[in-house]
Amino acid sequence: MTTVAPGTTALDRDWWKTATVYQIYPRSFADANGDGMGDLPGITSRVDYLAALGVDAVWLSPFYPSALADGGYDVDDYRDVDPRLGTLADFDTMAAALHAAGIKVIVDIVPNHTSNAHPWFLEAVAAGRGSRARERYVIRDGSGAHGAEPPNDWESLFGGSAWEPLGDGQWYFHHFAREQPDLNWEDPEVRADFRTTLRFWADRGVDGFRVDVAHGLVKDLSEPYAPWREVAETLRADGSHPLWDRDDVHEIYAEWRAVFNEYDPPRFAVAEAAVHPSRRARYADPQGLGQAFNFAMQEADFDLADFRATIEAGLADVEVTGSTTTWLLGCHDTPRVATRYGLPLAAGERAQQVARQWLLSDGRAPEVDLALGLRRARAAILVLLALPGSTYIYQGDELGLPEVGDLPPEALQDPMAVRSSTEKGRDGCRVPLPWTTTGPSLGFGSGGSHLPQPASFAAYAVEAQEGDPTSTLSLYRQALALRSELNRGPELHWVDAGPEVLDLERPGGWRCVTNFGPRPVDLPTGRLLLTSGDLVDGRLPADTTAWVATS
Ligand code: GLC
């Protein structure tokens, strides 16, 4: 397999800096074999859709063999495809079809933990205390008589103790579900094996990697252990947290960079790193992963001050990193944007907070104004696509899908929900896409759907939106096509448009104006390119964005 592209230009090498990336959650995208679970041939069958949408790249959440204790983020084998999702040959066919359509392929690498069915972990369980096999994981002696108690009181992010007993007085550490034992990154074999995995996919033509929990790999488990109440707060600006964002993690990424640079163009990587903002730059270092997710936009409310501050902070970051920033409204871990923006907020309340209370606990369902939420989500995506840097689009947001907040409890799969009697978890944004307005699982596949689709999804189907120039899908298509023409150079100038209007200008006289206030406002003079909603007497109404060419 050839990996060298002769005549590669700087533009080819830097494609990711301004890319629009579409996140595919493979189990919920398209199901080719009718077993109710999306698969790689399903993605191949929808390449035309992705090309018509106009995205530059797709990022695939994990499709590796997995017992799905955490939606595939519990990996049994990093260098294969889950048989329910296809084969390596299906992967090659899919990648070739995407590449033929001009779409790059990014895969998810999960280095913090394996699954508990990974051969390494099975070996570690069987091999016993003091064995070489146990060195690949974070394993410690328990406390109390015969190690019957966990080593300390640390908790897992999914609830309960972060330690599980191995039955012989030793315990393994897991940041996430108990089916996700954390790897020991001090072990040279662990390091070498992941470099092999990166080459395995890069050799198959993968263009880049999304690095899961990039800030968690290196840990300081020297004793005495700090009490959980100190460790629970994860963000520190000085790298002193025992479990998160330790300086040494960047040694690993320097090794990975050497692997990425073996290829032409060099392979790209983006870090998922929930770190103190002042430390994000380290993950975006060109000598390391190169880009780091900026999640601030999905935390922001639909609010002028929030948007402006978030954009300014993202751009300031770029000054430090020399990379580009990423903008996103949602992903597979976050309540859908069309619902967030339609939540009723009391004074001082934040949408993410309210959404979490409702969706992640057993709170009373609020009256969501979905029409308002969608109107705002449409306005927001035009802002994101008008910004310098890279924009990530979560599958289904281009259809305006709402969160499914009322999945029956027996349908829930997310370990956050399964492990708790009160939390609903993240399944509500992972419900399979509706492609057609009728038929079994609304065109997702010929069988059922691994998470039930509500009847209301039919109205959001691709089929229903495709021919409608006012649909959200049409808005995304037009915006992505225009962006690829208009996005020239990284500069952004703010235009002062008063307390209720966000107004920014990009090179070439590309203006993006959003009305966050209640009353219609005048548009700048120029040629109207696109609006997220209808104008009212030629003026821009509330919760609406317009792109205008002023020169
Ligand atoms: C990341 C993923 C999330 C997963 C977790 C553990 O945060 O985005 O879905 O549960 O890592 O792998």
Say which CATH number the domain at 126 has.
3.90.400.10
Per annotation, catalytic residue among 56, 272, 317, 403: 272
Residue 213 Cα to ligand 1 midpoint, Å, equals 7
Same domain, residue pair 448 and 543 = no
Same domain, residue pair 427 and 534 = no
Which helix H or strand E contains 313, and what residues bound it?
A: helix 304-321
What is the residue with the minimal CA distance to atom 12 of ligand 1? 73
Q: Is 179 a catalytic residue?
A: no
Q: Are 82 and 73 in contact (CB under 8 A)?
A: no
Residue 120 Cα to ligand 1 midpoint, Å, equals 21
Mean pLDDT of 167-180: 97
Residue 158 Cα to ligand 1 midpoint, Å, equals 10
- Probe ligand 1: pick from 212, 394, 426, max atoms within 8 Å of CB? 212
Mean pLDDT of 273-291: 93
Indicate the average pLDDT of the chain: 94
What tokens were used for 344? 């009723």
Strands 390-394, 326-328: parallel, antiparallel or unpaired by DSSP?
A: parallel
Per annotation, catalytic residue among 82, 108, 164, 212: 212
- Determine the atom of ligand 1 nearest the C-alpha atom of 158: 10
Which helix H or strand E contains 501, and what residues bound it?
A: strand 501-506
Residue 434 Cα to ligand 1 midpoint, Å, equals 24
Same domain, residue pair 419 and 305 = yes
Partnered with residue 536 across adjacent β-strands are 539
Residue-wise pLDDT for 318-343, tens only, equals: 888 889 999 999 999 999 999 999 99
Q: Which residue has the tokens 């406390």?
A: 143
Mean pLDDT of 530-543: 98
Q: Specify the pLDDT at position 9.
A: 66
CA distance 5 to 2: 8
C-beta of 292 in contact with ligand 1 (< 6 A): no
Half-sphere exposure of residue 224, counting CA atoms within 13 Å on the CB side? 4
Q: Specify the pLDDT at position 8.
A: 58
Q: Which residue, of 157, 173, 189, is where some domain finishes?
A: 173
Evaluate whether residue 281 is within a structural domain: no
Q: What confidence tier does 446 reach under pLDDT thresholds 50, 70, 90? A: very high
Q: Specify the pLDDT at position 1.
A: 38
What tokens were used for 29? 């995208």
Q: Are 21 and 54 in contact (CB under 8 A)?
A: no
Evaluate whether residue 287 is within a structural domain: no
Mean pLDDT of 296-311: 95
Evaluate whether residue 52 is within a structural domain: yes
Residue 272 Cα to ligand 1 midpoint, Å, equals 9
- Determine the atom of ligand 1 nearest the C-alpha atom of 415: 10
CATH number of residue 322's parent domain: 3.20.20.80
Evaluate whether residue 163 is within a structural domain: yes
What is the residue with the minimal CA distance to atom 7 of ligand 1? 213
CA distance 356 to 374: 19
Residue-wise pLDDT for 98-122, tens only, equals: 999 999 999 999 999 999 999 999 9
- Determine the atom of ligand 1 nearest the C-alpha atom of 274: 7
Assess whether pLDDT exceeds 50 at residue 3.
Answer: no
pTM of the model: 0.96
Helix (H, G, I), strand (E, B) or coil at 130: coil
Q: How far is CA 273 from each of CA 78, 266, 318, 448, 495, rounded to the nearest angstrom?
A: 21, 21, 16, 35, 32
Q: Among 509, 501, 506, 547, which Cα is nearest to 528's? A: 547
| 30/365: higher pLDDT | 30
Q: Which residue, of 420, 452, 476, is where some domain finishes?
A: 476
Helix (H, G, I), strand (E, B) or coil at 528: strand
Q: Among 263, 254, 319, 262, which Cα is nearest to 290's? A: 254
C-beta of 212 in contact with ligand 1 (< 6 A): yes
What is the residue with the minimal CA distance to atom 9 of ligand 1? 333
| 41/7: higher pLDDT | 41
- Probe ligand 1: pick from 175, 213, 275, 414, max atoms within 8 Å of CB? 213
Q: Are 124 and 111 in contact (CB under 8 A)?
A: no
Same domain, residue pair 323 and 404 = yes
What tokens were used for 320? 């430090």
Same domain, residue pair 504 and 405 = no
Q: How far is CA 182 from each of CA 118, 210, 414, rounded to the nearest angstrom?
A: 12, 18, 19
CA distance 56 to 21: 6
Same domain, residue pair 467 and 347 = yes
Residue 343 Cα to ligand 1 midpoint, Å, equals 25
What tokens were used for 447? 């069988």
C-beta of 176 in contact with ligand 1 (< 6 A): yes
Same domain, residue pair 103 and 158 = no
Mean pLDDT of 124-153: 97
Same domain, residue pair 464 and 323 = yes
- Probe ligand 1: pick from 333, 414, 419, max atoms within 8 Å of CB? 333
Q: Is 272 a catalytic residue?
A: yes
- Determine the atom of ligand 1 nearest the C-alpha atom of 70: 10
Residue-wise pLDDT for 175-230, tens only, equals: 999 999 999 999 999 999 999 999 999 999 999 999 999 999 999 999 999 999 99
Q: Which domain holds residue 153?
A: 119-173
Mean pLDDT of 310-323: 91
Assess whether pLDDT exceeds 70 at residue 266.
Answer: yes
Evaluate whether residue 526 is within a structural domain: yes
C-beta of 74 in contact with ligand 1 (< 6 A): no
Q: Are 386 and 393 in contact (CB under 8 A)?
A: no
Strands 170-173, 139-141: parallel, antiparallel or unpaired by DSSP?
A: antiparallel
Q: Among 146, 50, 156, which Cα is nearest to 106's? A: 50
C-beta of 213 in contact with ligand 1 (< 6 A): yes
What is the residue with the minimal CA distance to atom 2 of ligand 1? 212
Evaluate whether residue 204 is within a structural domain: no
Assess whether pLDDT exceeds 50 at residue 543.
Answer: yes
C-beta of 457 in contact with ligand 1 (< 6 A): no
Q: What confidence tier does 7 reach under pLDDT thresholds 50, 70, 90? A: low
CA distance 117 to 181: 10
- Determine the atom of ligand 1 nearest the C-alpha atom of 333: 9
Assess whether pLDDT exceeds 70 at residue 481.
Answer: yes
Q: Specify the pLDDT at position 360.
A: 62
Q: Please, what sign has the CA dihedral across residues 337, 338, 341, 345?
A: negative
Q: Specify the pLDDT at position 2.
A: 35
Residue 192 Cα to ligand 1 midpoint, Å, equals 23
Q: Which residue has the tokens 């001090």?
A: 186
Evaluate whether residue 417 is within a structural domain: yes
DSSP 179-234: TSPBB-TTSHHHHHHHHHHHHHHHHTT--EEEETTTTSS----PSSPPPHHHHS--
Residue 115 Cα to ligand 1 midpoint, Å, equals 13
Q: Which residue, of 476, 499, 526, is where some domain finishes?
A: 476
Evaluate whether residue 272 is within a structural domain: no
Q: Specify the pLDDT at position 439.
A: 94
Query: Who contacts 363 (Cβ-Cβ below 8 Å, separation ≥6)?
Result: 357
Q: Among 372, 337, 398, which Cα is nearest to 541's? A: 372
Q: Specify the pLDDT at position 33.
A: 97
User: Exposure of 258 by Cβ count < 10 A (0-12 exposed, 13-18 middle, 19+ buried)?
Assistant: exposed
Amino acid found at 489 = G
Q: Among 212, 220, 211, which Cα is nearest to 239's? A: 220
A 10 A CB-CB count for 133 gives: 17
Count of structural domains, the chain: 3
- Probe ligand 1: pick from 23, 60, 61, 70, max atoms within 8 Å of CB? 70
CA distance 337 to 374: 8
Same domain, residue pair 533 and 435 = no
CATH number of residue 517's parent domain: 2.60.40.1180
C-beta of 394 in contact with ligand 1 (< 6 A): no
Same domain, residue pair 340 and 464 = yes
Residue 543 Cα to ligand 1 midpoint, Å, equals 32
Same domain, residue pair 428 and 536 = no
Same domain, residue pair 444 and 513 = no
